[in-house]
Amino acid sequence: MKKTIGLLLFPDFQIIDMAVVAVFETANSLPGGPYYELTVLSELGGPVRSSSGVAVLTERFGAPAFDTIMVAGSSEATPPMPPFTAFLREASQASRRTASICAGAFQLAEAGLIDGRRVTTHWAMARELQRLYPKARVEEDRIYIEDERIWSSAGMTACIDLSLALVEADYGVELARAVARKMVVYHRRTGGQSQFSALLELEPKSDRIQNALSYAKRNLRKALSVDELADAATLSRRQFTRAFRLETGQSPAKAVETLRVEAARTMIEEGNHAIDVVAREVGFDDPERMRRAFIRAYGMPPQAIKRAARAGAESAT
């Protein structure tokens, strides 16, 4: 039996959030499908204009019961919309689960659906969400969060990660992987993964420096000397060192440490690995060196991050 999904739109919604439609459409095209029946809804029905100017045709709010209610986001926090809030509250009560994308979390909050719950949104709006709705437990550096029947995601392309996670919860990991492959999603991110990327933050401007950083990320267990990275960039040591600092503002050693810390944090938050195992896997010489790097990056040791991740997982069960 197909699962029904109601996607709620409002004026000036973010058009990229319609990517969730592609996830469920792709699932329906795979063997055993169709798996989902999706309805796009709005208060008045008809075309709803996105912030980009592109309009999407919708049906008017009606019967509230769906398997899943999803709320689209926007590029900024949207003021309360009483009719929208009332339908969302009713639909959430009548449906099995409710999910928000990006600033859609503000709509869930206005409907009273995230009091006492873990929730995320786009990193740029997270503190505002926490300020306006202090009863929510906002985690600003997550791709998506599941707290019982309430799901929420970060902004932009995180809606794809959220939708793939919903597919996995409904029909298993193999179908979710098949959808990701067909959509040419290079890496299906887990909910606990950071919204930030060390490679993105470094912002290399040339392909050669990007190649060196990508090589480093694939080979973190190795020593990764400057000479090795220079070879990956097909530059001399002197040319590489000068170009690297000009493009990233960091030394190669500092950038590699940043990549190692990011990889270590992901392992700690998503698995049950011992700290010394994590240190070895990401290329730190010993746990103490990793501890010092974590304090420089996050202001806390890896053990504290591990405890926080465990506490979050326990509160979600």
Assess whether 311 and 165 both reside in one domain. no
Does the residue 190 lie in any domain?
no
Domain closes at, from 148, 182, 216: 182
Q: 169 falls in which pLDDT band (50, 70, 90)?
A: very high
Assess whether 154 and 209 both reside in one domain. no
Bridge-based pairing state of the strands 68-71 and 3-8: parallel
Distance CA 128, CA 214 (A): 34
Task: Find the range with the poorest average confidence among 63-77, 86-100, 291-305.
Answer: 291-305
One-letter identity of residue 262: E
- How many independent structural domains does the chain possess? 2
pLDDT > 70: percent of the chain: 92
The kind and range of the H/E element at 297 are helix 287-298
Q: Check pLDDT > 60 for residue 33.
A: yes
CATH number for the domain spanning 247: value is 1.10.10.60
Domain closes at, from 134, 155, 182: 182
Residue 77's pLDDT is 86
The mean pLDDT value for 281-290 works out to 93
Assess whether 45 and 176 both reside in one domain. yes
CATH number for the domain spanning 47: value is 3.40.50.880
What three-state secondary structure class fits 147? strand
- The number of helix segments (H) and strand segments (E) in the chain equals 14, 10
* Mean confidence (pLDDT) of the chain: 90
Assess whether 178 and 206 both reside in one domain. no
Assess whether 153 and 240 both reside in one domain. no
Residue 4's pLDDT is 98
One-letter identity of residue 120: T
pLDDT > 90: percent of the chain: 71
Assess whether 173 and 238 both reside in one domain. no
Does the residue 115 lie in any domain?
yes
Burial class (CB in 10 A: 0-12, 13-18, 19+), 272: exposed
pTM of the full structure: 0.67
Q: Check pLDDT > 70 for residue 75.
A: yes
Assess whether 177 and 219 both reside in one domain. no
Does the residue 152 lie in any domain?
yes
Does the residue 310 lie in any domain?
yes
Q: Check pLDDT > 70 for residue 311.
A: no
Domain that holds residue 250: 198-316
Assess whether 25 and 137 both reside in one domain. yes
Does the residue 96 lie in any domain?
yes
Assess whether 211 and 82 both reside in one domain. no
What three-state secondary structure class fits 3? strand
Does the residue 193 lie in any domain?
no
Q: Check pLDDT > 60 for residue 316.
A: no
Residue 231's pLDDT is 96
The kind and range of the H/E element at 83 are helix 82-94
Assess whether 171 and 202 both reside in one domain. no
Residue 73's pLDDT is 95
Assess whether 237 and 262 both reside in one domain. yes
Distance CA 186, CA 161 (A): 11
Question: Could you tell me if 195 and 143 are in contact, meaning their C-beta atoms sit under 8 angstroms apart?
Answer: yes
Assess whether 52 and 145 both reside in one domain. yes
Q: Going along the chain, which residue ranges are E strands? A: 3-8, 36-42, 46-49, 55-60, 68-71, 97-101, 118-119, 137-138, 144-147, 150-153
The mean pLDDT value for 56-65 works out to 96
Task: Find the range with the poorest average confidence among 20-29, 102-111, 180-189, 279-288.
Answer: 180-189
pLDDT tens per residue, range 113-134? 999 999 999 988 999 999 999 9
Does the residue 188 lie in any domain?
no
Does the residue 260 lie in any domain?
yes
The mean pLDDT value for 79-93 works out to 95
What residues contact residue 123 under an 8 Å CB cut-off, 6+ apart?
140, 141, 154, 155, 195, 196
Residue 195's pLDDT is 55
